[in-house]
Homo-oligomer: A and B are copies of this chain.
Amino acid sequence: MDIEKANEQAVERMMQSRPVVVGMGKALEVIPGMQEDLLLHAGPPITWERASGPMRGAITGALIFEGKAKDESSAKKLVESGAIKLEPCHHHQAVGPMAGVICPSMSVYILENKTHGNKSYSNLNEGYGKVLRYGAYSPEVLDRLRWMEEVMAPVLGKAITLSGGIDMRALLSESLHMGDEGHNRNKAGSIIFTTRLAPFITRAAPNSETAAEIIQNLADNALSVLNPVMAACKGMVDAAHGIEGSTIVSVMARNGTDFGIRVSGLGDRWFTAPVAVPQGLYFPGFTAEDSSGDIGDSTITETAGIGGFAMASAPAIVTFVSGTPRDAMNATLEMYEICSSEHKYFTIPPLDFRGTPTGIDIRKVVETGITPRVNTGIAHKDAGVGQVGAGLVRPPMEMFQNALVAFAEEYGY
Contact = CB atoms under 8 A, between A and B. Distances in A.
Nearest to A179: B178
Nearest to A317: B349
7 contacts: A178-B180, A178-B187, A188-B191, A200-B212, A205-B208, A324-B352, A325-B349
Interface of A: 174, 177-180, 187-188, 191-192, 194-196, 198-200, 202-203, 205, 208-209, 211-213, 215-216, 218-219, 315-316, 318, 324-326, 349-353
Nearest to A214: B199
Closest 4 CB pairs of A and B: A315-B349, A199-B212, A195-B219, A177-B316
Contacts of A196: 219
A contacts with B: majority SS: helix
B192 A215 contact: no
Contacts of A205: 208
Contact of A203 (B192, B203, B208): B208
A174 B188 CA distance: 10
Nearest to A218: B195
A212 B203 contact: yes
Contacts of A180: 178
A195 B191 contact: yes
Given A192-B191, A209-B203, A198 B215 contact: yes
A325 B194 CA distance: 29
Nearest to A213: B199
A369 B211 CA distance: 55
Residue of A179, A213, A215, A351 with most chain B CB atoms under a 10 A cut-off = A179
Contacts of A198: 194-195, 198, 212, 215, 219
Contacts of A208: 202-203, 205, 208, 211
Residue of A198, A213, A324 with most chain B CB atoms under a 10 A cut-off = A198
Given A219-B196, A325-B352, A202 B211 contact: yes
A317 to B, nearest CB: 9
Given A191-B195, A350-B350, 14 more contacts: A177-B316, A178-B179, A179-B188, A191-B191, A194-B195, A194-B198, A195-B215, A195-B218, A199-B213, A199-B215, A202-B211, A316-B349, A325-B352, A326-B352
Contacts of A219: 195-196, 198-199
Contacts of A209: 203
Nearest to A326: B352
Contacts of A315: 349-350
A88 to B, nearest CB: 34
A313 to B, nearest CB: 9
Contacts of A191: 188, 191-192, 194-195
Contacts of A325: 349-353
A349 B219 CA distance: 23
A202 B212 contact: yes
B199 A188 contact: no
A179 B350 CA distance: 10
A216 B188 contact: no
A322 to B, nearest CB: 14
B195 A188 contact: no
B194 A216 contact: no
Residue of A174, A194, A316, A352 with most chain B CB atoms under a 10 A cut-off = A316
Nearest to A190: B195
Residue of A199, A205, A219 with most chain B CB atoms under a 10 A cut-off = A199
A156 B208 CA distance: 15
A188 B178 contact: yes
Contacts of A218: 195
Nearest to A324: B352
